Structure 1
Amino acid sequence: MTNYPTGEASGLSRRAWLQKISMPALATAGACALPSMVLGASAPAKENQPGIYDIRRYGARGDGQTNDTAAIQRAIDECHQQRGGTVLVPVGDYLCGTLELKSNVTLHLAVGGRILGSPRREDYQAPAAIPPGNGNVVFLFAANAENVCIEGSGTIDGDGIHFNNGKGDGTGPGGQKGGNFDRPHLVIFYRCRHIGIKDTFFTRSAYHCFRILECREVNIRGVRIYNRVNRNNDGFHFNSSQHIHISDCDVACQDDGCALFGSNQFVTITNCTFSTRWSVFRFGSGEVKNITVSNCIIYDTYGCPIKIGAGKSKIENLLFSNIVMENVTGPIGIGFNAGNYNDTFVRNISFNNIRASLVTKPVNHPDIPFDVKPFEGEQYSCITLNGVGNSYLENISFTDVQITAAGGGTAAMAAKEVPAVSVEYFGVWGSAPAGAGAYGLYARNVKGLTLQNVRLTYREPDLRPALVLDNVSDAAFHALSIQGHPDATALRFINSQDVLCTATRLLSDARTFLQVKGDRSDNIIIEGGDHRKAQQALQGSLSAVQIK
């Protein structure tokens, strides 16, 4: 073991000795272990420590009034030119506009250090290196860079309330022409590799909080996002990125909590909380595969927490497990309409150990400065698996899932057929009376549907079936428990084949346990279970059903 001399005999004080051995290491390892005496210093050192670039040495004032853009950019540029290191943002409010992060630069925000967005549009740029889709005006960005890190317990605050003109970007449901794109996103990474984001607080963006576009090897840990001052206030927004890992984050936003559009692959999301007006995990078209979401809590979220919309897509191997949803609408929606495209599919999607408590309709978040204005189809919602035309969802499974709906569904809702349209889940229901279909799960055009230990109940009486199958084949239900209504049907199967129900259980009185409709219904087997609370076991196409 090496003994390092200290004290008078060595000629070094303890503090000088600590700095001597720690600073060279920091130049190599980044600023994760920056000594508190450096982070909290009230004045900059006369010279940069090796690998540490204090923005105050470059003229940054941190008084919340002076525009510090040029000073901070000089620190970043020199850090990059010297082959990398740590740009230190000490205590203070550093007002600025667009900043470019560069390869091998770690931006470290000390506790009490805040980079504050300018309220003036002219202080922001739309970099030519970033494509203009969804706007490319930005506060902090990196393009075609590698080994970039944002860390530390400080804050990046976009102060985006100044860009709220009452308009969204027009890309969402009911979007208007002439959307508002001329406002800065908080952070954009474009075609970057090896990105680290950890511990920092990101807040009040004028637009999306994070846009991570065509990037590789992204690790996000311990981040807090509070983004509720404007429309389209997403949390994380990914496009066609790979090897993404998100953990231990808390996200409260106004729009999509974690949108994954395009061809995202090899993604893990775990140990996070989310709350938003719209969706949390939202998937668009592209080649999407190998994604797991686990150990997450979703609360006060409307617009469907897990929403998968697919047209010209290849989506497979998505696993959702150990998720709690409280006060949500939806809660899961998958829509698929491939049209005339070949080689498209949505398959191999599983939902395990889910607990969801649904509300009747969206309500206002008290901290979002505009009203919710719910769509008709967002009310009385349920799990929706919606294949349209010749498009089929394949191999969808639910294991150990408990859904508690708000209830309140009427006989008119139960009687209405669900239109075969391919839009977002609330658009499907919006074409019919609110809540048409089922209070628990509605499935159409599914091949290979598995429900094991699934429980569907409601808090207020509901006259809709708990579960509706429409053109479903190769389905297996084991230990399915459903709540009934004395004047309603519990299960409804329409033109469905090769369905095996074992150990199903009716929890309360119902008029009919199973109603079978359609001349293509065939080979439906009911084996075991407890259906004694139903006035009649079967109704409809009885020849399609075998009871064992």
Structure 2
Amino acid sequence: MTRLLYLLGALALLGSPSLAQTYNITKYGAVGDGKTLSTRAIQQAVDACNRGGGGIVEVPAGTFLTGTVNLKNNVNLHLNDGAVLQGSPNLTDYQTYSVPEYGTNRYGILYTVDAQNVSLTGHGAVDGNNEVFYDFTKAKTLDTATTRYTRQKNNYRRVASGVGDGPVVPKDRPRQMVIFAKCRNVRVTDVSLLNATFWTLHFADCDAVNVDGIRLWTGMLVPNADGIDVTSSSNVTIENSDIRAGDDGLAIVGYDHHFEIAGFSGLKHPCENINISNCNIQSYSSGIRIGFLDQNPVRNVNVSNCNITNSTRGIGIFLRDEGSIENLTFSNVRIETKLRTGDWWGNGEAIHISAIRGKDKVKLGKIKNVAFNNVTCKAENGILLYGTAESALEDITFNGLSLEFTDSPLNDVAGGNVDLRGNSDPKFGLFARDIPAFLAEHVKGLTVNDFKLQWTNPRAPFLTHGIETNNVTGLRVRHFTGTGAPSNPKAAAVALKNSPGAVVDRSKKDIKKL
């Protein structure tokens, strides 16, 4: 008996789930018929759980229609097998917020702010009900101002009929489906997050976050429906998850001014210490995006053992503002990318790193110390490293890189262009350029070890060299197996321009000075 009492006491101290207080939402009036609005009942269960010191808010099997619900300290919202929290089709059921620059918007299904020890768990689903908030019969198209510098001009990414690769046209809609803002010790495990109308899962200014084993499917034709966005947050682990998003699969950014879009203010601190592993990712934009219009730095990001497939960009690293991006490592990653029709960002690059001004009157930051180890790519466009005189890329390393550059059925309407959108000068946003397999411009310290390049059915006239550099210092290329595009007799294995002191272990006949 004494031993039994001791064990029970130990379990209580450890917070055993079996001893946690459970608050079933149906006891507060929620009805899982897919018709009855249950927002108030769900919120009452959450509030009761919080007042009682914490525990489990249980969602049983059934479809529970809801607007915005706010989780609180020490609350675990647990979705049982067969449980669905489905977003209401009525916009007025969602909480509003106003920002002068963007007007009035609405939160999504779960909005949690200033909470600790909060979690979303179980094998049920949160469903954003996006079919109500989009016109799936119409596709967004690029305007002529955007396409005027492309190779195809007004024919760029044209679709002969139907919606092609989308994206489809949004109506008025709720914003982020699940938000945790200024929260500490956050856990999201096992759940399915489906059919978001905007960003799906957003961690803003959070610390100590774990995402494990989730299924996140937004619908590949849906714009702005990012998978997981981590903004100005620290100590985040994302693992063992299946992410299929119309927009960026994973976005790791150091936003500050953009916090206001979501109706809360950000703090001036980095987005740092992020680990991503064992995930399968698909996106019609970037599989993994790091940075963009960031005031805060992004640093210490590790990505390992991931597959990025059926994507428009594989890994995209973007600097457009004052926040620097540094200390990134990508290991054991498989990437497959394609050209697309429609108004998506990216143009088939397996890896894209760019630093170019996107905001005036700031001191532009830097991208530095980025390493790729054992990365295998199959892509319909080349690898792009694009720094500028104002912000050269620094210390970029590839160890064990394989690229199969494949012909694309969309070359006539999309190929032969570079996409640097988000920058200040439209001439260098989306523009025509001949395409090498590996292009590096304005880089200080570039090492490429064990690079295997294969061209598959290269037919496009704009294809050129195997590796092309311009304004690169500290270039080291060792064990490069590959050639220029076989379809172009003037293409070289390695073409160097303004790249003094380059060390390339190829014969002189394989190296061209531009």
What TM-score do you get using the length of structure 2 for normalisation?
0.78
Letter of the structure 1 residue corresponding to residue 65 of structure 2: L
Q: Tell me the equivalent position of 1:29.
A: 15
- Per the alignment, do residues 417 and 407 of structure 1 end up closer, same or farther by CA in structure 2, a change over 3 Å counting? closer
Alignment of 1:16-415 (within 5 A): 25=11, 29=15, 31=17, 51-126=21-96, 135-165=105-135, 182-228=173-219, 230-262=222-254, 263-282=270-289, 283-284=291-292, 285=294, 286-328=296-338, 329-337=348-356, 341-342=362-363, 344-359=365-380, 381-407=381-407
1:24-62 deviation line (CA, Å, top 9, x unaligned): 95896364xx5xxxxxxxxxxxxxx86111111111121
Q: Tell me the equivalent position of 1:494.
A: 497
For 1:219 and 1:243, the matched residues in 2 are separated by 9
- Per the alignment, do residues 227 and 417 of structure 1 end up closer, same or farther by CA in structure 2, a change over 3 Å counting? closer
- Per the alignment, do residues 408 and 115 of structure 1 end up closer, same or farther by CA in structure 2, a change over 3 Å counting? closer
- Total equivalences in the alignment: 447
Answer with 1 or 2: which has the greater Rg.
1
Whether contact under 8 Å (1:388, 1:421) holds in the other structure is: no
Letter of the structure 1 residue corresponding to residue 441 of structure 2: R
- 1:323 Cα deviation after fit: 0.2
- Per the alignment, do residues 134 and 220 of structure 1 end up closer, same or farther by CA in structure 2, a change over 3 Å counting? farther
For 2:83 and 2:417, the matched residues in 1 are separated by 57
Letter of the structure 2 residue corresponding to residue 288 of structure 1: V
- 1:357 Cα deviation after fit: 0.6
- 1:337 Cα deviation after fit: 2.7
- Per the alignment, do residues 26 and 142 of structure 1 end up closer, same or farther by CA in structure 2, a change over 3 Å counting? farther
Instruction: Tell whether 2:442 aligns with 1:445.
Output: yes
Q: Tell me the equivalent position of 1:372.
A: none
- 1:326 Cα deviation after fit: 2.4
- 1:134 Cα deviation after fit: 11
Whether contact under 8 Å (1:134, 1:181) holds in the other structure is: no
Whether contact under 8 Å (2:176, 2:201) holds in the other structure is: yes
Structure 2, unaligned runs of 5 or more: 148-166, 255-269, 339-347, 410-415
For 2:373 and 2:20, the matched residues in 1 are separated by 50
Letter of the structure 2 residue corresponding to residue 348 of structure 1: N
Which 10-residue stretch deviates more, 217-226 or 259-268?
259-268
**RMSD of aligned alpha carbons:** 3.6
Whether contact under 8 Å (2:355, 2:388) holds in the other structure is: yes
For 2:23 and 2:287, the matched residues in 1 are separated by 37
Q: Tell me the equivalent position of 2:451.
A: 454
Letter of the structure 2 residue corresponding to residue 195 of structure 1: V
For 2:498 and 2:480, the matched residues in 1 are separated by 21
- Per the alignment, do residues 111 and 422 of structure 1 end up closer, same or farther by CA in structure 2, a change over 3 Å counting? closer
SS of 1:74's equivalent?
helix
Whether contact under 8 Å (1:406, 1:459) holds in the other structure is: yes
1:464-494 deviation line (CA, Å, top 9, x unaligned): 1011010111111111111343713322101
- Per the alignment, do residues 23 and 90 of structure 1 end up closer, same or farther by CA in structure 2, a change over 3 Å counting? farther
- Per the alignment, do residues 76 and 23 of structure 1 end up closer, same or farther by CA in structure 2, a change over 3 Å counting? farther
Which 10-residue stretch deviates more, 119-128 or 469-478?
119-128
- 1:303 Cα deviation after fit: 3.7
Whether contact under 8 Å (2:321, 2:364) holds in the other structure is: no
Q: Percent identity?
A: 28
For 1:157 and 1:24, the matched residues in 2 are separated by 38
1:133-165 deviation line (CA, Å, top 9, x unaligned): 995522111011111100011111111211115
Letter of the structure 2 residue corresponding to residue 456 of structure 1: L
- 1:311 Cα deviation after fit: 3.1
1:278-311 deviation line (CA, Å, top 9, x unaligned): 1121122331111101100011000443332333
- 1:418 Cα deviation after fit: 8.4
Q: Tell me the equivalent position of 2:480.
A: 480
For 1:205 and 1:501, the matched residues in 2 are separated by 48
For 2:512 and 2:215, the matched residues in 1 are separated by 49
- 1:313 Cα deviation after fit: 2.5
Whether contact under 8 Å (2:417, 2:431) holds in the other structure is: no
